[in-house]
Amino acid sequence: MHATEHRNFIAGEWVAGVRTHPNVNPSDTRDVVGEYALADAAQARTAIEAAHAAFPKWSVATPQQRADALDFIGSEILARKAELGDLLAREEGKTLPEGVGEATRAGHIFKFFAGEALRTGGELLPSVRPGVSVEITREPLGVVSIITPWNFPIAIPAWKIAPALAYGNCVVFKPAELVPGCAWAIAEIASRSGLPPGALNLVMGRGSQIGDTLVGDPRVAGVSFTGSVATGHRIAQSCVTRKEGGMAKFQLEMGGKNPLVVLDDADLATAVTCAVQGAFYSTGQRCTASSRLIVTERIHDRFVEALVAKTRSLVIDDARKAGTDIGPVVDERQLEQDLEYLAIARQEGATLAAGGERVERGAPGFYLTPAVLTHATNAMRSSREEIFGPVASVIRARDYDEALALANDSPMGLSSGVVTTSLKAAAHFKRNAQAGMVMVNLPTAGVDYHVPFGGRKASSFGPREQGRYAAEFYTTVKTAYVGA
Ligand code: NAP
């Protein structure tokens, strides 16, 4: 294979795309990570065909075979976490520690699901009829299309591919066009893991060109998607209106507009750390980012002062440079979107208290200083729509009750946090926050890999991802009645 041409992986072979596409480093746009294949719809269909052909074999592979393949992938990712973390930082713009952390998490996820492959059980119940027993088992869906966003280029593919394979499905995996490097690395490792040809296929290509095929082909039984609300809705529509093959099962993880509530009794240092970590780390490009900081009256001014000081002290630079706190925005389009929302927020009456400026560093890149908007209200567009950048709005609340109401007043419901020293307030918030995940004295972003992940309202649709709950999506239940 050509040193810098990274091909698609279909039916166990490396296949050239119809074109290639340069993978560019957002910290230094002169640095091209490599050339990556772009598939067309015909190639996507070939990948689906390969997965379909592999299913009869992989679906009856022993739990040991599945566990061994996943354990191989997880072990190699962990052994190469420094290199893969560096690749991630280079293609996406997360800092090196964040990149290595994400690669480590991906390795752990594969190893977790290696264990789960051995633990897939069923239930045996007595029937209500004499002489009959009832067996409840889980079977794989078939071919699953996995479509992922650019902001977690190795962890999100891992948390979809690993359970899909663990439960016996065959996969067609399409990463976001901006980050093919980590996706290709996963496929390359998987190609040596003992998986049969066709069990995992990689098709790098534009969503606008191959997305409809990956979702609409009648041989695709399930679609697991993470990305924007708009693309998620489009996928949902295709899954339910398919002319052939019945509806596809689908799972959508979409945007967030996550609140971090800071109460009067909060420890100020904890509140500022949670806010800065949650809002700005990973350049704010996390679906769980704390984009709304809802702060009660008596701590408001002290919190804003400390937040602004801390934000101004952050080092914004090349993602792979030692000492960098915040890397670049992923690309020009996202940077323009961030600046546009900052302009809208100011037109709507918010004050830019810190950051929000495009800055130059040693190399051409997409650098934006993290922005704190004060005097924001929950009705502003910047408080309701996902910006997906290092931008946090501080919204003042009278008291706990108003803060909780504001936190819940959002079309989204992914993650919700509270900073407080009151057990009573924490317990009430945990119970009443309208979100899939609730954080107490922790940033809204940053989750474990062995427990369920997902949201409510416009943020998510379908069963939860990760942990044992992943079986809900990647398997279908069979109920068998057995007479004497
Ligand atoms: P996006 O534009 O929706 O893209 C996501 C994926 O969908 C990409 O692989 C994209 O391919 C593909 N796609 C685009 N059009 C498609 C179509 N018509 N059919 C099928 N697939 C299509 O989202 P993004 O900008 O990459 O990611 C940012 C979004 O992801 C944010 O809204 C963020 O909140 C969300 N996110 C959510 C979670 C969560 O778990 N809730 C986690 C992370 C990110 P191309 O790259 O080729 O366009």
pLDDT digits (tens, 9 = 90+) for 317-338: 999 999 999 999 999 999 999 9
262 backbone dihedrals φ, ψ, rounded to 5°: -115, 115
Residue 181: helix, strand or coil by DSSP? helix
Which one-letter amino acid corresponds to residue 205?
G
The residue annotated as part of the active site, out of 91, 287, 386, 465, is 287
Cα 180 to ligand 1 centre (Å): 13
pLDDT band at 2 (very low <50, low <70, confident <90, very high): very low
- Average pLDDT for the chain: 97
Pocket of ligand 1, candidates 147, 334, 341: which has the most ligand atoms within 8 Å of its Cβ, to mutate?
A: 147
CB atoms within 10 A of CB 460: 25
Residue 368: helix, strand or coil by DSSP? strand
Cα 287 to ligand 1 centre (Å): 11
Alpha carbon distance 392, 280 (integer Å): 8
pLDDT at residue number 243:
83
User: By alpha-carbon position, which residue is closest to atom 43 of ligand 1?
Assistant: 287
pLDDT at residue number 168:
98
Ligand 1 atom showing the smallest separation from residue 206 Cα: 47
For residue 212, pLDDT beyond 70: yes
87 touches 93 (CB < 8 A): no
410 touches 309 (CB < 8 A): no
pLDDT at residue number 5:
87
The residue annotated as part of the active site, out of 91, 92, 253, 465, is 253
Cα 227 to ligand 1 centre (Å): 3
394 touches 415 (CB < 8 A): no
Beta bridge partners of 439: 417
For residue 99, pLDDT beyond 60: yes
Q: Is 287 a catalytic residue?
A: yes
Cα 331 to ligand 1 centre (Å): 14
Q: What is the mean pLDDT of residues 258-277?
A: 98
Strands (E), 7-90: 8-10, 13-15, 19-24, 32-38
Cα 176 to ligand 1 centre (Å): 7
pLDDT at residue number 375:
98
pLDDT at residue number 239:
97
Alpha carbon distance 268, 484 (integer Å): 68
Query: How many CA atoms are closer than 13 Å to the CA of 141, on its beta-carbon side?
Result: 28
Alpha carbon distance 34, 16 (integer Å): 14
User: By alpha-carbon position, which residue is closest to atom 20 of ligand 1?
Assistant: 211
For residue 23, pLDDT beyond 80: yes
With a Cβ cut-off of 6 Å, ligand 1 is lined by 147-152, 174, 176-177, 206-208, 211, 215, 226-228, 231, 234-235, 253-256, 287, 386, 388, 414, 459
Q: Is 239 a catalytic residue?
A: no
Tens digits of residue pLDDT in 107-157: 999 999 999 999 999 999 999 999 999 999 999 999 999 999 999 999 999
Alpha carbon distance 166, 81 (integer Å): 22
Take residue 300 and report the two structure tokens written for it: 């408001």
Tens digits of residue pLDDT in 401-441: 999 999 999 999 999 999 999 999 999 999 999 999 999 99
Distances from the Cα of 296 to the Cαs of 382, 383, 419, 433, in angstroms?
20, 17, 11, 17
pLDDT at residue number 1:
41
Whether the model clears a pTM of 0.95, i.e. scores above it, the answer is yes
Take residue 323 and report the two structure tokens written for it: 């000492």
User: By alpha-carbon position, which residue is closest to atom 30 of ligand 1?
Assistant: 227
Q: What is the mean pLDDT of residues 262-283?
A: 98
Alpha carbon distance 161, 200 (integer Å): 8
Alpha carbon distance 273, 268 (integer Å): 9
Q: What is the mean pLDDT of residues 296-300?
A: 98
pLDDT at residue number 3:
47
Q: What is the largest CA-CA distance in the chain?
A: 78
Cα 3 to ligand 1 centre (Å): 29
Give the strand pairing for 143-147 and 220-226. parallel
Pocket of ligand 1, candidates 214, 231, 384: which has the most ligand atoms within 8 Å of its Cβ, to mutate?
A: 231
170 Cβ partners below 8 Å, 6+ apart? 51, 52, 54, 55, 58, 59, 142, 143, 144, 198, 199, 200, 201
User: By alpha-carbon position, which residue is closest to atom 31 of ligand 1?
Assistant: 228
